[in-house]
Amino acid sequence: MEKIRGWEQETLVKELHQGYELTKQLKHHIGPLTSPESCEFLVHKIISTYDRALSILNFGDSAGEFQQVAGTFEPPQPLTGGSPMSEASDQCHKDAYKKRKTSPRWTEQVRVCSGKGTGDDGYTWRKYGQKDILGANFPRAYYRCTHRHVQGCLATKQVQKSDADPSIAEITYRGRHTCIQSPALASSGKEFAKQKKDQCQPHLLEENQIPLFNFGTGFKTEEMGIMEETFPSFSFPSSPSKSQNVETISFLEPLKEKNFLGSDSLEFLSLLEFPIDNFGFGEDLQLSESDLSEIISAPTSVTNSPTGNLDFFSLDQVDFDPNFQFDTSEFFS
DNA sequence: CGGATTTGACCCTT
DNA sequence: AAGGGTCAAATCCG
């Protein structure tokens, strides 16, 4: 069995505890006088909690699939045979490793400003390795989310300068951010926009500048298959035209179809639908800094989920506090 | 002094 | 065995 590090165990316990508390809350909500919306909300939170716990136990993105098909409570692999910490066969270990390698992965090509070659994307990353890659002129740098230990965020990214043009860095993201970026870090995102406005020469901001949230040219994902399977009606524009400048991701549609959401939930969740290009900081920066700050500090994982799973509206981002008490009147009054 | 980076070693896959 | 990805001790830096 792959060893579980201290912080992982801590996070695991926290997540399982939260799942337990939420289930208790759900129990109280089940009854003739309670709204189905609040139950659904709790169910989503519980699923997200177990999703993170399963991720730590090497179910990797499979847990995400589990979450995506919230209607069918069937994890990809049974958790039978005692505690998760118990010994497992080598084969099981290898399977787990393979699953981990299938976590969401997508690549962006970013033209970087001089001095900062890591592609500031509003998240805070911590470098944990660098490797010379065969046939590449530049080493590949490995980053993971700064909040990995604290919040168990498993997002990582690899940054490699292009051989042909050192001013272009290919950034491969892997895994979703499950962390909450602090306001201070959100201001780093602000800095990101400011940097674009003030420091970069205009010619550096043209078509190759593909920062986070921009699903246009230069962006590719290896998870389209999964997404297609999960949300057949969901698609990214493969070659966006100018007329698609204000394109709305209707990630709620599949949920409406599957009757996951009641009308009240939809009304609330619709607030999370947004014109996607506003997040691209596209060619002509349309956002004010206050807008940008609002967006980046918004505690949703909408900002980093091209996989199109339910994390798009994962309200569990609201808190990580095991003592969190959910008051439905706040949301569904 | 605490957090971030560097870098050689180790592990896993092919 | 080679190459890619991660770990963790050493080092750096504010």
Q: How, if at all, do strands A219-221 and A168-174 pair? A: unpaired
What confidence score (pLDDT) does residue A118 get? Answer: 56
Which nt is closest to the CA of A141, judged by C1'? C5
What are A76-133's pLDDT values in tens digits? 333 333 333 333 333 443 333 333 444 667 777 777 654 444 556 778 899 999 999 9
Q: Which residue is nearest to nucleotide C6 (CA to C1')?
A: A129
A158 touches strand C (CB under 7 A): yes
CA atoms of A205 and A194, how far apart (whole Å): 13
Which nt is closest to the CA of A175, judged by C1'? C5
pLDDT score of A293 more than 60: no
pLDDT score of A146 more than 80: yes
| Strand B bases contacted by the protein (CB, 7 Å) | 4-9, 12-13
Beta bridge partners of A306: none
Q: Residue A199: which pLDDT band, with cuts at 50, 70 and 90?
A: very low
A129 touches strand C (CB under 7 A): yes
| Strand C bases contacted by the protein (CB, 7 Å) | 2-8
How many Cβ atoms from other residues are within 10 Å of residue A195's Cβ? 15
Q: Residue A169: which pLDDT band, with cuts at 50, 70 and 90?
A: confident
Range of lowest pLDDT (A54-58, A131-135, A174-178, A320-324): A320-324
What confidence score (pLDDT) does residue A176 get? Answer: 74
Which nt is closest to the CA of A93, judged by C1'? B12
Which nt is closest to the CA of A139, judged by C1'? C4
DSSP at A248: B
Q: What is the Cα Rg of chain A in Å? A: 20
Which nt is closest to the CA of A126, judged by C1'? B4
Q: Is A198 helix (H, G, I), strand (E, B) or coil?
A: helix
Range of lowest pLDDT (A149-163, A179-193, A300-314): A300-314
What are A221-269's pLDDT values in tens digits? 544 433 333 333 333 333 333 333 333 333 333 334 344 334 444 333 3
Mean pLDDT of chain A: 53
pLDDT score of A138 more than 80: yes
Distances (CA, A) of A28 to A24, A25, A226, A328: 7, 5, 35, 12
Gap from A190 CA to C2 C1', Å: 43
Maximum average pLDDT range among A15-24, A155-164, A201-210, A258-267: A155-164
Gap from A138 CA to C4 C1', Å: 15
Enumerate residues 6+ apart whose C-beta is below 8 A from A165: none
CA atoms of A7 and A13, how far apart (whole Å): 10
What are A12-53's pLDDT values in tens digits? 677 777 788 888 888 777 766 567 677 777 777 777 777 666
